[in-house]
Amino acid sequence: MNAKKTKTRAGANQPPRFGETQVTPDPTKFRLKHLSDQEAYNLVQKKLLQPIPKPKNPDNLVLKLETVLGRSEGNKIIKDIQKEGKIVFHMVGDTGPTGGPKNIDKVTDKLQNDFLGEPDGEAPRFLFHLGDIVYSFGEGKYYYDQFYEPFRNYQAPILAIPGNHDGLVYETDPTPTLDAFLRNFVTEKPVTSTDAGGLSRTTMIQPAVYFAFDAPFVTIIGLYSNVLEDPGVISSEGHADSPVSDEQLAFLTSQLKRVKNSGNAVIVAVHHPPFAWGGDHGGSPKMLKEIDDACKEADFWPHAVISGHAHNQQRFTRTVGDFDIPYIIIGNSGHNCLSLKSTKTTALRAPINLTKDLIFESYDDKNYGYLRLVCDSKQLRIEYHDDDPDQKSYSDAVTVDLKTHTMISN
- Distance (Å, rounded) from C-alpha 269 to C-alpha 406? 19
Pairing of strands 86-92, 127-129: parallel
CA atoms within 13 A on the CB side of 366: 5
**Which of 167, 194, 214, 205 lies closest to 57 in space, CA to CA?**
205
**φ, ψ of residue 166 in degrees (nearest 5):** -70, -25
Task: Report which residue type is found at 161.
Answer: I
2-408: in CATH 3.60.21.10 = yes
Q: Following DSSP, what letter does each residue of 37-70 receive, concatenated?
A: -HHHHHHHTTT---PPPPPS-TT--EEEHHHHH-
Q: Where are the alpha helices (DSSP H) in 114-204?
A: 143, 164-167, 179-185
For residue 348, what pLDDT is reported?
77
Q: Residue 115: CB partners within 8 Å, gap ≥ 6?
A: 123, 124, 155, 156
pLDDT of the residue at 286: 98
Name the residue ranges covered by the structural domains of the chain: 2-408
Dihedral (Cα; 54, 57, 63, 66), 10-degree rounding: -140
Residue 85 region by backbone torsions, left for phi larger than 0, else alpha for psi between -120 and 50, else beta: left
Of 268, 407, 250, the closest CA to residue 328 belongs to: 268
In this structure, which amino acid lies at residue 77?
I
- Rounded-to-integer distance, Cα 217 and Cα 88, Å: 10
CA distances from 355 to 211, 227, 275, 301, 319 (A): 32, 29, 12, 20, 10
d(CA 407, CA 156): 29
Q: What is the pLDDT along the chain (410 residues), one digit of tens a residue?
A: 444 444 445 555 579 999 898 877 889 999 998 888 887 778 776 568 999 999 999 999 999 999 999 988 999 999 999 999 999 999 999 999 998 999 999 999 999 999 988 887 899 999 999 999 999 999 999 999 999 999 999 999 999 999 999 999 887 778 899 999 999 999 999 999 999 999 999 999 999 999 999 999 999 999 999 999 999 999 999 999 999 999 999 999 999 999 999 999 999 999 999 999 877 788 999 999 999 999 999 999 999 999 999 999 999 999 999 999 999 999 999 998 888 876 666 667 889 999 999 999 999 999 999 999 999 999 999 999 999 999 989 999 999 999 999 999 77
Residue 193 has what DSSP assignment? -
Helices 247-259, 285-298: crossing angle, 10 deg rounding? 40
CB atoms within 10 A of CB 349: 9
Measured on CA atoms in the order 244, 206, 304, 307, is the torsion positive or negative?
negative
379-385, long-range: CB < 8 A, 24+ apart: 379/265, 379/408, 380/218, 380/265, 380/267, 380/303, 380/304, 381/410, 382/304, 382/306, 382/326, 382/328, 384/313, 384/315, 384/328, 384/330, 385/110
Please report the pLDDT score of residue 325 as a whole number.
98
Q: Which helix (H) or strand (E) holds 343?
A: none
- Rounded Cα distance, 205 and 210, in Å: 12
Rounded Cα–Cα distance for residues 137 and 198 (Å): 22
The residue count of the chain comes to 410
